[in-house]
Amino acid sequence: MSSKRFDQARPFLSLGIIVLAWLLLPVGVKSFLRVTFFELQAPVQVTASYVRDLQEFWADRSHSKDELIEAAHQLRHAYAGYEFQAQQAEAQQAEIARLEGLLRLPSNPKYRFEPARVCRRDLSGWWQQLTIRKGSNYDLTVGAPVVYSGGVVGRVREVRLYEADVDLVSSPRLRLAATFENDTRPVSYQGGNNPPLAPARGIVEFVPPDIVAYSSTPLRLVTSGLGEFPPGLTIGYVQRLETSPDGLFQSGEVSLDRRLTELTEVTVLVQLPPD
Amino acid sequence: MSIIESYRPQRFRLMFFQGLIVAMLLVLAGGLAYRQIVRFGDYGERERLQNQRRVLVPGPRGNIYDRENRLLVGNRSRFAVTLYLDELRREFRREYIEVVRRYRESEAAGELSRSDRPSPSQLEQISRAQVVQRYLDEVNRLLSRDEKVDMNQLNRHFQQQLLLPYVLLDDLKPEEFARLIEELPVQSPLQVYTSSTRYYPNGSAAAHVLGYVRATDEVSGDEISGEDLKTYAFKGTVGRDGLELQYDPLLQGETGAAIFRVDPAGFRVNPPLEKHAPRQGERLNISIDLDLQMAAEKAIAQFETLKGAAVALDVRTGEVLVLASKPDYDLNDFSPRLSQASAQKIHETGAWTNLAIAGVYPPGSTFKLITSLAGLRSGLISVDGFTVDCEGTVRIGNRNFVCDKSAGGVARHGVISLRDAIALSCDIYFYKVGTTIGPDAMAGEARRFHLDQPTGIDLPYEVRRMLIPDPAWKKKVKDEAWFAGDTANMAIGQGDVGVTPLDMACFVASLARGETTTRPTLLHDPNRPRQHTEPIGLPREQLEAIFEGMEGCTTRGTAKIFNTPTYGIPGLRIAGKTGTAQTSRDGNKINIAWFVCFAPVEDPRIAMAVAIEGDTPGEQFAGGHYSAPVAQAVLKAWFEKFQRAAAAPFTVH
């Protein structure tokens, strides 16, 4: 009878012993185990990501030639547009460099663009993060800005050997100094508490009272350039601002791009040392 | 039968002890019940007082706008980087252990003796300062600064204001704020704290009207729950002068509060149990017109070193459109606090005084309007029937009185009646009127217009020492007899007569309406009704004659600069009166240039009084040359607006 009771209690006893052992382990050992776990887990995630890429590749091969020709047409149009914009940007860069030279200003920080595939998305009520398929093996650093064609993706939070975690712009752990388009005064942007499957949102605070936002003409919130991020990158759009009870500032919700939840490829901006 | 079996206890002894134990238990139970039931409330209250603290956050003050809703006083944000010390308890403890360990090692190595070791409380202070300095170094790194922790200030804060965030750096620039927002982790004990400070977009404009505030530790939290708790309060502000003082209760924001639970060491342990957000104070729309105010201040400032004041009123409502006083000060110098150097500069220039309500001057020839009214009301003179032959001098009593011209010479106006006497400001005529009607009639008329009293304007520190003398006053105060020369002096606004520019502006506004009282106010109400007070009591034609004389002053008389291309305002008929008075300062005679007026003559809307002090003893200083241009600048700005408003299409919404 007593041995039967012991058998029934054995799982709980084992769990208790394990928890106790974990609690008593030195911090260094715990830290080592944690890092080892993630480093060992990384190849699995990376492999799964490559498998998904392979799956997409074969799915793409199933398209007909007509579809591919049509896609190539669209790509050529887009390419022509981007080519023109790239030329304009180049001319503007040259002008900026000339003015900086005239005014003897220090040049803006320069970045190396490091494209990276997204191998895991963690979009829950608690976490808003991506795992990308590059890490310290590509010299990524903690705090590096991550962007995509729609603007800000987030900021690198943790770098491992083969992968890195990125705090999404929708994460409450991410705060940025932002400005509204055509305004120079800095405001504070912070990711919101986003429930799963809901459109991602953030919060903008410390907005001067004279700035007005309408739902018909939302204001574009962009990076200020005062931190790690280069200026002018889209964070999101603000449709309504509310004055705080003390009348000093306004605050409001920032609608973030829906594509953030579907990203497959992002670019990490790795800052280059000054010349 | 054994001994044990045969034993029979003494029953009464057992019962005694049982009773004793029961009684003791009852006492214990009663005591427990007393403490747990009867004293429950008391102990609960004591526990609440012991482990709860209240933090008060003053609400920002209300904004002040001019009559056209332009911001005159607002609040600007003030960013500071702060450290919440209660989140550093463990770090303080660890650092303390580390500091003690280092001392012990030094002692063991023979570098220090045991007596060199600081006391435990000093070690605590050292360890706290080192922890805080580490955080400050992090901020220094982000902002490229090199700030050091002030240990005394930190200890004071720790002892007295532990629940308030400790300010590491105050008044950050927007770029610094942005950098910290982006670089500091969201959960860091370092946080960017925002507060407000007064902001004056127009610098020194209307400085004396708007006033200023000072920081105060007295933040009202009476209406917020927890008034019996130990309370910490952020610094608030309180009005010290001007409208900031006058309407302080209205402008004061609603205090916000948070009640925290604290541990025995006084550290915050939880999110607030209760929280009320602060609210901004009420907005104030004042009657000042910023355009006119700035025109007046600019016009006075053109005289550079001269002091002066200008007041303009809405004739119909008494609303103050302009209340300017120079020299003045930049209100932004007071925000967040006035430096010693700025205070010294203000003191040296005499800019603290609002001359419009605290500058008491003899009104000079502008008082001739009172003399005229008194004469006409007495029936002893008439508009055309009473004439005087002005030969430049007249002997009154045992003194010769001359007819001053603005250039300082002697005027000979010949035979002159009321209209021309006002227009040309003939002293001889008014000496004659004064001696004809006597001092009591003039004093009585001045008092009818309340020139002997404060106007009651809604501003602090309006003086009460304006004076309308008469023989009884002179006997009582100076114990001297009243002479004919006193009457002559009073007739032209000299001698002991003393009024403020605001008094004279109210008088002119009343005169323009044909009434005796104008109650000035600085509050703007677009629906304020026209003031109706006691009529002057003169036939319309007599009042018109005075107005004609005043209009003559600006077209051909002592203020004929209004008839020149430079100063003329085409289309605007102005009724004015100049004045030049002498007053004694530090034993020297100083001239005061006056100009009072209203316009348009046919439908009075704006009334003005301007007084400019000369700065050179004995200098001739005519109102037509100094004060009239100031009035012209204001009238020109007003008339442009008036015409624009009249030309604007009427729209029905």
What's the pLDDT at A121?
A: 85
Q: Which of B96-100, B222-226, B304-308, B354-358 has the lowest mean pLDDT?
A: B222-226
- Model confidence at B524, pLDDT cuts 50, 70, 90, reads very high
CA dist., res. B514 & res. B508, Å (int) = 10
Q: Would you put residue B417 in left (φ > 0), alpha (ψ -120 to 50) or beta? A: beta
Question: Which residues of chain A have a CB within 8 Å of the CB of B63?
Answer: 247
Are A202 and A170 a contacting pair, CB within 8 Å? yes
Among the partner-chain residues B77, B177, B186, the one whose CB lies closest to the CB of A248 is B77
Q: From the CB of residue B365, how many other CB atoms can be counted at a distance below 10 Å?
A: 29
CA dist., res. B264 & res. B273, Å (int) = 17
At residue B192, the 3 state secondary structure works out as strand
Interface A–B counts its CB contacts (< 8 A) at: 70
B77 in reach of chain A (CB within 8 A): yes
Residues of A with CB under 8 A from a CB of B: 172-177, 185-186, 188, 190, 206, 224, 226-229, 244-249
For B160-169, what is each residue's pLDDT tens digit?
A: 888 788 999 9
Are B516 and B535 a contacting pair, CB within 8 Å? yes
B549 in reach of chain A (CB within 8 A): no
Look at residue B526 and tell me whether its pLDDT is greater than 70.
yes
CA B471 to chain centre: 38
Are A134 and A115 a contacting pair, CB within 8 Å? no
User: What is the helix (H) or strand (E) element at residue A100, kind and residue range?
Assistant: helix A65-103
User: What is the helix (H) or strand (E) element at residue B423, kind and residue range?
Assistant: helix B418-424
Exposure string for B269-285, b = 16+ CB within 10 A, e = fewer: eeeeeeebebbbbeebb
Q: How far is CA A91 from CA A79, A97, A275, in A?
A: 18, 10, 21
Q: Is B17 exposed, middle or buried (0-12, 13-18, 19+ CB in 10 A)?
A: exposed
Which stretches of B170-266 are assigned E, i.e. beta strand? 190-199, 213-216, 230-233, 236-239, 256-261
Q: How far is CA B343 from CA B199, B200, B346, in A?
A: 18, 18, 5
CA dist., res. B318 & res. B316, Å (int) = 6
CA distance A112 to chain B (A): 21
Beta bridge partners of A155: A145, A167
CA distance A51 to chain B (A): 36
What's the pLDDT at B650?
A: 57
Question: Which residues of chain B have a CB within 8 Å of the CB of A188?
Answer: 181, 192
B50 in reach of chain A (CB within 8 A): no
Question: Which residues of chain B have a CB within 8 Å of the CB of A244?
Answer: 277
What's the pLDDT at B582?
A: 84
Residue of B nearest to A144 (CA): B183
For B230-288, what is each residue's pLDDT tens digit?
A: 777 778 889 999 999 999 999 998 888 888 777 776 666 667 788 888 888 999 999 99
User: What is the helix (H) or strand (E) element at residue B415, kind and residue range?
Assistant: strand B414-416
Question: Which residues of chain A have a CB within 8 Å of the CB of B59?
Answer: 245-246
**A206/B194 CB distance under 8 A:** yes
Alpha helices in B34-76 (DSSP H): 40-51
CA distance A206 to chain B (A): 9
What's the pLDDT at B640?
A: 94
CA distance A110 to chain B (A): 18
What's the pLDDT at B407?
A: 46
Task: State phi, psi for B234 to the nearest 5 degrees.
Answer: -70, 155
Among the partner-chain residues B63, B179, B278, the one whose CB lies closest to the CB of A246 is B278
For B155-198, what is each residue's pLDDT tens digit?
A: 998 888 887 889 999 888 888 888 898 888 887 888 888 888 88
Q: Tell me whether strands A242-243 and B230-233 are parallel, antiparallel or unpaired.
A: unpaired
For B388-415, what is each residue's pLDDT tens digit?
A: 998 888 898 888 888 875 445 667 888 8
Question: Which residues of chain B have a CB within 8 Å of the CB of A271?
Answer: none
- Angle separating helix axes B484-491 and B427-437, nearest 10 degrees: 120
For A8-66, what is each residue's pLDDT tens digit?
A: 888 889 999 999 998 898 888 888 888 888 888 888 888 888 888 888 888 888 888 89
At residue B633, the 3 state secondary structure works out as helix
What's the pLDDT at B406?
A: 44
Q: Tell me whether strands A128-132 and A164-168 are parallel, antiparallel or unpaired.
A: antiparallel
ipTM: 0.72
CA distance A247 to chain B (A): 6
CA dist., res. B116 & res. B52, Å (int) = 39
SS3 of B495-543: CCCEECHHHHHHHHHHHHHCECCCCCECECCCCCCCCCCCECCCCHHHH
Question: Mutate which of B182, B186, B195 to disrupt the A interface (most A C-beta within 10 Å)?
Answer: B182
Exposure string for B330-353, b = 16+ CB within 10 A, e = fewer: bbbbbbbebeeeeeeebeeeebeb
SS3 of B428-495: HHHHHHHHHHCHHHHHHHHHHCCCCCCCCCCCCCCCCCCECCCHHHHHHHHCCCCCHHHHHHHHCCCC
Q: Where are the domains of chain A?
A: 2-61, 63-107, 111-275
**B174/A206 CB distance under 8 A:** no
Nearest to B60 by CA among A249, A205, A247, A206: A247
Nearest to B522 by CA among B600, B456, B437, B609: B456
Number of H helices and E strands in chain A, helices first, is 3, 13
Among the partner-chain residues B60, B177, B183, the one whose CB lies closest to the CB of A247 is B60
CA distance A241 to chain B (A): 17
User: What is the helix (H) or strand (E) element at residue A234, kind and residue range?
Assistant: strand A234-238
Structural domain A111-275, CATH architecture: Beta Barrel (2.40)
- Per-residue pLDDT, averaged over A162-188, amounts to 90
**B77/A227 CB distance under 8 A:** no
**B175/A186 CB distance under 8 A:** yes
CA distance B181 to chain A (A): 6
Q: From the CB of residue B35, how many other CB atoms can be counted at a distance below 10 Å?
A: 12
Question: Which residues of chain B have a CB within 8 Å of the CB of A228?
Answer: 182-183
Alpha helices in A146-255 (DSSP H): none
- Model confidence at B131, pLDDT cuts 50, 70, 90, reads very high
Are B443 and B470 a contacting pair, CB within 8 Å? yes
Exposure string for B172-181, b = 16+ CB within 10 A, e = fewer: bebebbbbbb
Are B176 and B150 a contacting pair, CB within 8 Å? no
Helix, strand, coil share (%) of chain B residues, nearest 5: 40, 20, 35
Question: Which residues of chain B have a CB within 8 Å of the CB of A227?
Answer: 178-179, 181-183
Question: Mutate which of A142, A169, A246, A250 to disrupt the B interface (most B C-beta within 10 Å)?
Answer: A246
User: What is the helix (H) or strand (E) element at residue B275, kind and residue range?
Assistant: strand B274-276
CB under 8 Å to A140, separation ≥6 — which residues? A114, A116, A134, A156, A159, A164, A268, A270
Complete domains list, chain B, with CATH: 53-285 (3.90.1310.10), 290-329+353-647 (3.40.710.10)
**A246/B59 CB distance under 8 A:** yes
CA distance A142 to chain B (A): 12
CA dihedral A208, A214, A218, A219 (to 10 degrees): -20
Are B51 and B273 a contacting pair, CB within 8 Å? no
CA dist., res. B312 & res. B299, Å (int) = 14
Q: Would you put residue A142 in left (φ > 0), alpha (ψ -120 to 50) or beta? A: beta
Are B440 and B491 a contacting pair, CB within 8 Å? no
CA dist., res. B499 & res. B358, Å (int) = 9
CB under 8 Å to B306, separation ≥6 — which residues? B300, B326, B612, B613, B614, B615, B626
Give one DSSP letter per residue of B579-606, joined into a string: EEEEEEETTEEEEEEEEEEEE-TTS--E
Look at residue B419 and tell me whether its pLDDT is greater than 80.
yes
For A193-213, what is each residue's pLDDT tens digit?
A: 777 777 888 999 888 878 888
Mean residue pLDDT of chain A comes to: 87
Q: Hey, which residues 250-279 in chain B have their CB within 8 Å of chain A?
A: 253, 256, 277-279
Look at residue B653 and tell me whether its pLDDT is greater than 70.
no
Question: Mutate which of B94, B179, B181 to disrupt the A interface (most A C-beta within 10 Å)?
Answer: B181
CA dist., res. B626 & res. B595, Å (int) = 9
- Per-residue pLDDT, averaged over B559-588, amounts to 88
Helix, strand, coil share (%) of chain A residues, nearest 5: 40, 30, 35
Query: What is the length of chain A?
Result: 275
Mean residue pLDDT of chain B comes to: 88
CA distance B334 to chain A (A): 19
Amino acid making up residue B226: G
**A228/B253 CB distance under 8 A:** no
Q: Is B496 exposed, middle or buried (0-12, 13-18, 19+ CB in 10 A)?
A: middle
CA dist., res. B222 & res. B529, Å (int) = 38
Peptide bond into B327 cis (omega under 30): yes
- Per-residue pLDDT, averaged over A112-117, amounts to 92
Q: Tell me whether strands B64-65 and B284-285 are parallel, antiparallel or unpaired.
A: parallel
SS3 of A248-262: CCEEEEEECCHHHHH
Question: Among residues of chain B, what percentage have pLDDT more than 70?
Answer: 94
**A226/B75 CB distance under 8 A:** no
**B182/A175 CB distance under 8 A:** yes
CA dist., res. B434 & res. B428, Å (int) = 10
- Model confidence at B204, pLDDT cuts 50, 70, 90, reads very high
Look at residue B3 and tell me whether its pLDDT is greater than 60.
no
Task: State phi, psi for A237 to the nearest 5 degrees.
Answer: -125, 145
CA dist., res. B549 & res. A30, Å (int) = 100
